Amino acid sequence: METVGGTIVTPARRRFPVKALAWMAVSPFAVWAAARIGGLERGSLTTQLMTATPYAAAGSLVSLVVAMAARNRPAAAVALVTSAALGFSVLPRAFGTADTATGRPLKVLTINLLFGRADTGAIMELVRRFDPDVLSTQELTPDAVGRLDAAGLKDLMPHRVLEDEYSAGGSGLYARYPLTRLDNVVPQRGHHMPVGLLALPGGRPVQIVNVHPYPPLGPLVHDWNAALRALPSASADPVRVLAGDFNASLDHAAMRELLGRGYKDAADEVGQGLVPTWPANKRIPPIITIDHVLVDSRVGVREVSVHTVPGTDHRAVFASLTVP
């Protein structure tokens, strides 16, 4: 009987592709950073996703940790550059300071009423507490106009330019001082966006633009882009303030293009640029910032605060300004 001999060969274990995992973690954030920096969002879906850039900036740090743990130096380098790019895009909004510039005080309050359903008492409480010179309202319905006037707004802010209607398209400006309607300043691009010339005491009038483009949903993204492009640029005269529901964050290329035409975001100026304004009064807390007050470079920003109002899915934004 012969003994059968030989060598027992143990199959090599397959190693987990740790380095590939690092690239899987890093790549989505790198693409996001490239799209954000380059303004490459196209179509409705990517435009909506861009509002989540502050969260992508935080998430990119996780990808950096994964790449370093995997000892994948190229991936770690890309992750580091990605985190830096997203961080520099987002973090300055949290570190602004109040402007000490002197000038005439101008207080602006803006709120989207959600088809006129916002709580009238809560709105009037804000009006009485902050005593705004201008109230910019979106989704203003005739019923809401009646309720606000009955609650005392007609006495506190008797001057107005209203384009109210029973839909999301209604808007209106209320003011403590005389307010003259200006036509043909903003071409009609969906929702009403009335414009008024405010006779602010102590100097030249200030132009107030109520902003409310369509949201960038589906094919409406083209109208949203067109509406933001149609907003007037800052100019030598008059001083101009844009206030409302822009349906846009500072991470949208269209919004940055508007800012590049001579404006600054009031909340961004005083370190409140990351405070979310939508959706309010839902099971989830507000997560994105799409309600803004924009001012031209001559306007100082003293204070910005954001306030939840029952009955609407947008938070109110109050800005205390100084104008020349």
pLDDT number for residue 9: 56
Are residues 204 and 239 in contact, defined by beta-carbon separation less than 8 angstroms? yes
- CA dist list (Å): 249 to 288, 291, 296: 7, 8, 18
Tokens, residue 260: 């590049």
Mean pLDDT of 105-112: 98
Question: What is the pTM assigned to this prediction?
Answer: 0.92
Nearest to 112 by CA among 290, 241, 294: 290
Q: With the CA atoms of 34, 38, 42 and 45 taken in that order, what torsion angle do they form, in degrees rounded to the nearest 10? A: 50
Nearest to 169 by CA among 118, 225, 250, 113: 113
Secondary structure of 59-100 in HEC code, one letter for each residue: HHHHHHHHHHHCCCHHHHHHHHHHHHHHHHHHHHHHCCCCCC
Could you tell me the sign of the dihedral formed by the alpha carbons of 191, 273, 270, 317, in that order? positive
Spans of all domains in the chain: 18-94, 104-323
Task: Report DSSP letters for 1-48, one per residue.
Answer: -PPP---PPPPPPPPP-HHHHHHHHHHHHHHHHHHHHHT---HHHHHH
The CA radius of gyration of the chain, in Å to the nearest whole number, is 25
> For 199-219, how does the pLDDT look when each residue is reduced to its tens digit (9 = 90+)?
999 999 999 999 999 999 999
pLDDT number for residue 241: 98
**Residue in the block written with tokens 């802010």:** 157
Are residues 243 and 304 in contact, defined by beta-carbon separation less than 8 angstroms? no
Determine what percent of the chain is predicted with pLDDT higher than 70: 95
Distance between first and last Cα of the chain: 110
CATH code for residues 104-323: 3.60.10.10
CA distance 295 to 299: 6
Q: Per the omega criterion (within 30 degrees of 0), is the bond before 238 cis? A: yes
User: How many Cβ atoms sit within 10 Å of the Cβ of residue 71?
Assistant: 11
Are residues 120 and 146 in contact, defined by beta-carbon separation less than 8 angstroms? no
> For 41-76, how does the pLDDT look when each residue is reduced to its tens digit (9 = 90+)?
989 999 999 999 999 999 999 999 999 999 999 999
> For 247-292, how does the pLDDT look when each residue is reduced to its tens digit (9 = 90+)?
999 999 999 999 999 999 999 999 999 999 999 999 899 999 999 9
